[in-house]
Each structure stands twice: as C-alpha cells, then as structure tokens.
Amino acid sequence: MVSTMKKDISERVIRELFSSAGVQIDGENPWDIRIHDKKAYRRFLCEGALGFGESYMDGWWDCDRVDECVDKLLRVDIEESVKRNWELVLHVLKARLFNFQSKGRAYEVGERHYDIGNDLYKTMLGDHMIYSCGYWKRTGTLAEAQEAKLELICKKIGLAKGMKVLDIGCGWGGFARYAAERYGARVTGITVSKEQLRLGKEMCKGLPVELRLEDYRNMTGKYDAVISIGMFEHVGYKNYRTYLETVDRCLLDDGIAIVHTIGRNSCSTSVNPWFHKHVFPNSVLPSVAQIGRAMNDLFVMEDWHNFGPDYDRTLMTWHKNFEDSWPELKHKYDERFYRMWRFYLLSCAGAFRSRDQQLWQIVMTKRGRAQPDNRVG
C-alpha cells in the first residue's frame, strides 16, 4: 500500500510540474511525453536530470519533439522544483571538493567521448569536422555556417600570413586547416583525443600545422594568437585561472586571444549529472562571473559576443545528419546508444532555445597594448 501510494504521489507531482510548463503526460502535442513505464515518475522526481535522461535511454518514455519538451521545461526552471535526492547532493559536493579536471583526468573526456568513432562524427558534423557552434548569419547550410564561424574568428584575431597560432582543443584540426589554407598561418593544435589526432593529422597533411596529444597546462612557447573553440567547457571552474595563465604565458605581448565557449547564466560547480555520466565526463559550463574572476589582472576584455541561438540550429542539423546516417551506423552502435545520442543532441538544442545556455566568443588582449582594430560581429 505504501509503495503504491508513493508511486501515485510521484505521478501526481510530475504531472502537475510538467503541466505548469505546458507539457502534458500522454497528450497530443509533439512536445508531450508518452509514458511506457510508470516507474519513470518516481525516477524523474528522485533523480532529476539523471533519471529523466536515463529513463529515456531505457525506453520508459517517448516524445516526438524532445527538443521542444526540454525547451518548455527549462523555461520554468523545472529542476529547481524537484527536490534533489542525496545522490545528486553528493555529486555536487564531490565537484566542490575534488578537481575533476585535474591533469590526471585530462584525457578521460577524449577517451570516453571524442574517441568513440570518427565514423559517427564524420556523418554528423560534415566535411569540415567542426564540433562547435556554427555562425548562421547570412548562411543557409551547416558547411557555410562553420566556414562563417572560422572566418569570424580569423578576423577577430587579425589573422595574417605567417602568424603563429596556438589552438587549444583543436579537435580534428578544422580551424588549423582553414587558417593555414586561407591565410598561410602556422598553427599548433593540441587535443586530448587520440582519434581526433589521428584523423586531424591526415586532414592537415602538407600544411604548416602541427597537431599534438597534449594537456594545455604543459604548453610553452610564444604565439601571435591563442584560441580555443569549444574546449573551455572541459577546463573546470577550479582551473579557469590556470587556463588563462597558460594563455598569458603563451601569448606575445601584442597578441590576441579568443575563448569560444558554451556558457550558463549562473555560477555552477558541477555539470548536469546525466551529461557527466553519459556524454561529457568532468565537464562544467562557465558563467560570466567565473570567467571574469579568472581574467582579473591578466587580460583586457575587448569583446564578448553571444550567438547562443545559433547553437540550436547547429544541433538540430547535427541531429538530422545523425538520424539520416543511422542505418549505416547501427551495426556498430546499439539502440541504447541511439537513444542516448538522440537525447543528447535534442536536449541541448532545447537548452539553447530556452536561453538556458549561451554561446560566447570572448576576445582578450594583454594589459597595456593598443586596442585591436578588428572588431567584427
């Protein structure tokens, strides 16, 4: 009787909470949720984001438009309405006590996420192999949006022939290849992914590009520009100052730096537990305040450009590519992976659509140098 009562209470609470966001259980709208296993209610209530994502992976619920569902739930801050259980509280406490992004853990995200298969990323990301937000201003395709983003960064750093650039978190070398081919720049790129490095070296063969398997904290040398595109999310709040001190150490006095990163609207010390467990281990999104504190007395902030809504469109395009390619991929990846990856892409799209997450390009220079005359946007 007690167990049945708990289940009934969980269902009633979840129905009321979701209804307040305009999401109905077993409703007729594409963003409504269809429950296949009633144990999902208690899992939503007790485990929050972790239980919501894992129960989808397990097939306990479905939704025609997960992106729209997440968008609606985030707009009313649904997670704050659900009391966290001790497991989630412990996750937050661990993040505060331990440095999940230490040198010893630096390569974990490479092994568990970026190394899962270049075949998957080729089909999802397209020919440029750029795993970060495109810039869709005056563009119509993913390839055009990614080129526009790369060109935007090149203009912001005033890239010219012969300039030396350090690309921290270079991925498959997409920026390095673009900068070398279009501008004649000399690029050093570092990654923590063996698979990214292997394919990146092939893609940049014959160009003035050096790609390495390296943690950013080990970098030395001097560069005209230091950039990172979609890497700062893996740095961790305990290491923001260390990261920017590394940039300062490697940047020439008259150089320029760019951090292209996803950001959040409030300070946090831990990542969404579902993403930590299944997608991006040890990753956490920075806030304006956290980045600002880390920059203190090191850099002048020249420009802070937000085009977060462009990530919604980027993610929806990646999702379409993934869905279209699934018949060729499913021999290697099982059904649970398919649901996990689908939930990852669509829930992220919903997060950007709701403005819960942002995409920032932050331009920085060293103190004392003249303001660069290359402000674009």
Burial of 149 (0-12, 13-18, 19+ CB in 10 A): buried
Cα-trace Rg, the chain? 21
The CA distance from 53 to 44, in Å, is 9
Burial of 116 (0-12, 13-18, 19+ CB in 10 A): middle
348 as an active site residue: the answer is yes
Of 110, 107, 90, the C-alpha closest to 98 is 90
The CA distance from 372 to 302, in Å, is 8
Burial of 84 (0-12, 13-18, 19+ CB in 10 A): middle
DSSP of 264-279, one letter per residue?
A: ESS--SS--HHHHHHT
**β-strands 251-264, 223-229: how paired?**
parallel
The DSSP H or E segment spanning 78 is none
Catalytic residue among 69, 154, 204, 348: 348
Residue 80, CA distances (Å) to 84, 126, 189, 277, 286 in order: 8, 37, 40, 20, 19
Q: Which residues are catalytic?
A: 348
